[in-house]
């Protein structure tokens, strides 16, 4: 195994970035058509503690992949690697390779800011910028990227809010503070904010864990609708949610990938005993 090592403490650090290893033409073509991410032998450490242990997994494009597992199994760490968000944690070390449409995410010269633009993220707790209006929250990413054209901004604002199924509820209140709407609406606002920069992938880290059942249902419906346009990876503690929304499910346990497969198959006929024991509530 050709192991590349990267240590970093800042999101923009390029020091020690992985050396790109050329992939065979056949493999690259296959990745473009079938998989958004190809993760090879990925290991992650926080200081001395290994959070992810030698995981290899292909994440399909234009599909919803759920990651389940007990607390501390490494599922959040894993998805944060997919847009280099984990680099915000000091003393993080990564070994292995993550190919995004065939390109090495950690290659020398790869810009973490650009990675995060292509691979957006929504977090557990809705986090609209408290001093910004609904409109400003949605457009902040674009403005940071230098977009100033009012027509473009207006179009992107409406498009993003519509895609996030929030437009009809806030179209007359765009100047109101982002914090003035309900928790479920705030989470959809965060999704709209992520969509505004037109990413290819949406990572969701327990996006419904702080929401009531109705707000959760709206987010789940939205996730299903977004599936046609985005590759989605969702971390969830809620196994019913994983079985409802996802096409494929990965089960992580103590930093290892135990099983990855079709969601219906995994929840009806898991191949591994550890998966069966976890999803049926025999340990966790």
Partner 1 sequence: MVYSRHILREFDTALDALRSDALMMASLTDRNLQNAMTCLLDRVPELCAVTVADEKEVDALEKKVDSNGVEILLRFQPVASDLRQVVSTMKLGSNLERVADQAVKIARRSRKLTMEPELDEAIALGPLFIEAISLFRDSIRSFADGDVTLARSLHERDRELDQMNHDIADDLTAKMAEQPDRIPDYLNLLFIARHLERVGDHAKNIGEDAVYTAQAEDIRHPNNLLEVG
Residues that bind partner 1 (CB under 8 A): 239-240, 243, 267-270, 273, 276-277, 279-284
Which is it for strands 201-205 and 231-235: parallel, antiparallel or unpaired? parallel
Q: Which is nearer to partner 1, 36 or 279 (CB)?
A: 279
Q: How many CB atoms lie within 10 A of CB 102?
A: 15
Q: Which is nearer to partner 1, 79 or 239 (CB)?
A: 239
Q: Provide the minimum distance between the beta carbon of 58 and partner 1 in the complex, in angstroms, as a whole number.
A: 24
Q: Which is nearer to partner 1, 23 or 243 (CB)?
A: 243
Q: Provide the minimum distance between the beta carbon of 27 and partner 1 in the complex, in angstroms, as a whole number.
A: 33
Q: Provide the minimum distance between the beta carbon of 278 and partner 1 in the complex, in angstroms, as a whole number.
A: 10
Q: Which is nearer to partner 1, 162 or 244 (CB)?
A: 244
Q: Which is nearer to partner 1, 15 or 240 (CB)?
A: 240
Q: Provide the minimum distance between the beta carbon of 259 and partner 1 in the complex, in angstroms, as a whole number.
A: 12
Q: What is the 3-state secondary structure (H, E, C) of the chain?
A: CCCCEEEECCCCCCCCCECCCCCCHHHHHHHHHHEEEEEEEEEEEECCEEEEEEEEEEEECCCEEEEECCCCCCHHHHHHHCCCHHHHCCCEEEEEEEEECCEECCECCCCHHHHHHHEEEECCCCCCCCCCEHHHHHHHHHHHCCCCCHHHHHHHHHHHHHHCCCHHHHCCCCCCEHHHCCHHHHHHHHHHHHHHCCCCEEEEECCCCCCCHHHHHHHHHHHHHHCCCCEEEEECCCHHHHHHHCCEEEEEECCEEEEEEEHHHHHHCCCCHHHHHHHCCCCC
Q: Provide the minimum distance between the beta carbon of 243 and partner 1 in the complex, in angstroms, as a whole number.
A: 7
Q: Provide the minimum distance between the beta carbon of 208 and partner 1 in the complex, in angstroms, as a whole number.
A: 16
Q: Which is nearer to partner 1, 255 or 270 (CB)?
A: 270
Q: Which is nearer to partner 1, 121 or 279 (CB)?
A: 279
Q: Provide the minimum distance between the beta carbon of 250 and partner 1 in the complex, in angstroms, as a whole number.
A: 16
């Amino acid at each position: 195994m050709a192991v590349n090592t990267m240590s970093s403490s800042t999101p923009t650090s390029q020091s020690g970035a992985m050396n790109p290893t050329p992939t065979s033409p056949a493999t690259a073509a296959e990745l473009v058509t079938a998989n958004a991410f190809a993760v090879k032998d990925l290991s992650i450490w926080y200081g001395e503690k290994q959070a992810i242990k030698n995981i290899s997994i292909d994440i399909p494009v234009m599909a919803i992949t759920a990651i389940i597992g007990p607390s501390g199994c490494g599922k959040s760490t894993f998805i944060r690697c997919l847009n280099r968000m984990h680099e915000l944690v000091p003393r993080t070390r990564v070994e292995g390779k993550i190919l995004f449409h065939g390109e090495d995410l950690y290659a020398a010269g790869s810009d973490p800011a650009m990675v995060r633009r292509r691979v957006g993220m929504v977090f557990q707790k809705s986090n609209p910028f408290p001093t910004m209006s609904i409109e400003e929250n949605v457009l902040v990413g674009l403005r940071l990227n230098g977009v100033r054209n009012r027509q473009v901004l207006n179009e992107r604002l409406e498009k993003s809010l519509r895609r996030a199924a929030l437009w009809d509820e806030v179209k007359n209140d765009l100047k109101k503070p982002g914090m003035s709407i309900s928790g479920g609406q705030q989470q959809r606002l965060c999704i709209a904010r992520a969509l505004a920069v037109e990413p290819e992938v949406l990572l969701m880290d327990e996006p419904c864990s702080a929401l009531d059942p109705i707000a959760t249902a709206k987010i789940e419906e939205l996730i299903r609708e977004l599936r046609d346009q985005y590759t989605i990876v969702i971390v969830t503690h809620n196994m019913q949610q994983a079985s409802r929304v996802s096409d494929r499910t990965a089960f992580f346990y103590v930093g290892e990938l135990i099983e990855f497969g079709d969601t219906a198959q995994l929840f009806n006929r898991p191949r591994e005993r550890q998966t069966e024991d976890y999803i049926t509530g025999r340990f966790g």
